[in-house]
Amino acid sequence: MNMSYLQDLLSYIQQTHSILPKSTKLMEDKEFAKRYDKQEWLQNPDCSFLMSLCWIARTPKIQFDLWDRVHPIFISEYNGDIRNIQTESDCRKLGYYPKLVPYSWLPNLARYLREKGLSFSQFLEHMKSLNGIKTRAAFTKILKIKSGKAKRISVFIRDFLEKNVFPIDINVEYVLTSLGLPDDEELMVRLCERANIDPKRFERQLYAHGQKVCGYGKNCVIKGICISSLLDIEDRCNGRK
């Protein structure tokens, strides 16, 4: 990559980051705090991973309602241990939606843990030295996620492991495309790190902007630098109504 082009791209990201609101409190954050504040299972990696699989592309209420159904069954029927989720029938019993949470993911992970003689906590400890992207790659390989799309896995890595990843959902993807930035998780992590920006924070800014502003024809604080706006691509600014 031409170094001059790279520097221009980093400056563009820095400028976007500085203009977008720093506070990214979302309605799901408030709902999450109201439902789950200070509950002990929040520190449990098995529970947190299963909860992350509930973060499907639906409303926050539906996501939380799904976890509220999955959680008690996971504790009572599977002893709160991922290794006990061994079949597709187990995933069905937990209450996951088959089209949104592939029933192969958890059995694949459980099989790997049993074969290695590891609990999920021990597995995470073994991956402690890996960065966020390599951790994501390890999960993707073990769960046999072929599509390359692993937003919910990245959410777990971001929120529970606090490693640098860049979960890309439809909101983040829309803003990245509008800005002319790459729709690629590893590229965005590397660019943010080179720009001295926390990728986790920048991703949240883009998510909040995509959820509330981008594509809905609302007043946009980054309109003056957004490539789609500067090129007068009206469908990008108003196409999601």
CA 237, 240, 241 angle in degrees (round to 5)? 105
pLDDT at position 67 is 95
Dump pLDDT digits (tens) for 174-207.
999 999 999 999 999 999 999 999 999 999 999 9
Secondary structure class of 58 (helix, strand, coil): coil
Q: Which of 78, 54, 81, 85 is nearest to 68 (CA)?
A: 54
User: Range with the lowest mean pLDDT among 39-48, 95-104, 114-123, 217-226?
Assistant: 95-104
Q: How far apart are CA 178 and CA 111, in angstroms?
A: 41
Dump pLDDT digits (tens) for 92-136.
999 998 878 899 999 999 999 999 999 999 999 999 999 999 999
Dump pLDDT digits (tens) for 120-178.
999 999 999 999 999 999 999 999 998 767 899 999 999 999 999 999 999 999 999 99
pLDDT category at 241 given cuts 50, 70, 90 is low
Here the tokens at position 89 are 């029938």
Average pLDDT, the chain: 93
Please compute the mean of the pLDDT values over residues 1-19 and round it to a whole number: 92
Q: How far apart are CA 29 and CA 45, in angstroms?
A: 19
pLDDT at position 57 is 66
pLDDT category at 2 given cuts 50, 70, 90 is confident
Q: How far apart are CA 174 and CA 156, in angstroms?
A: 22
As annotated, the residues of the chain forming the CATH 1.10.1670 domain(s) are 3-20+166-238
Residue owning tokens 């998780």: 185
Tell me how long the chain is.
241
pLDDT at position 34 is 87
Dump pLDDT digits (tens) for 57-101.
667 888 899 999 999 999 999 999 999 999 999 999 999 988 788
Please compute the mean of the pLDDT values over residues 48-61 and round it to a whole number: 87
pLDDT at position 109 is 98
Q: Which CATH number does the domain 3-20+166-238 belong to among 1.10.1670, 3.30.750, 2.60.40, 1.10.4100? A: 1.10.1670
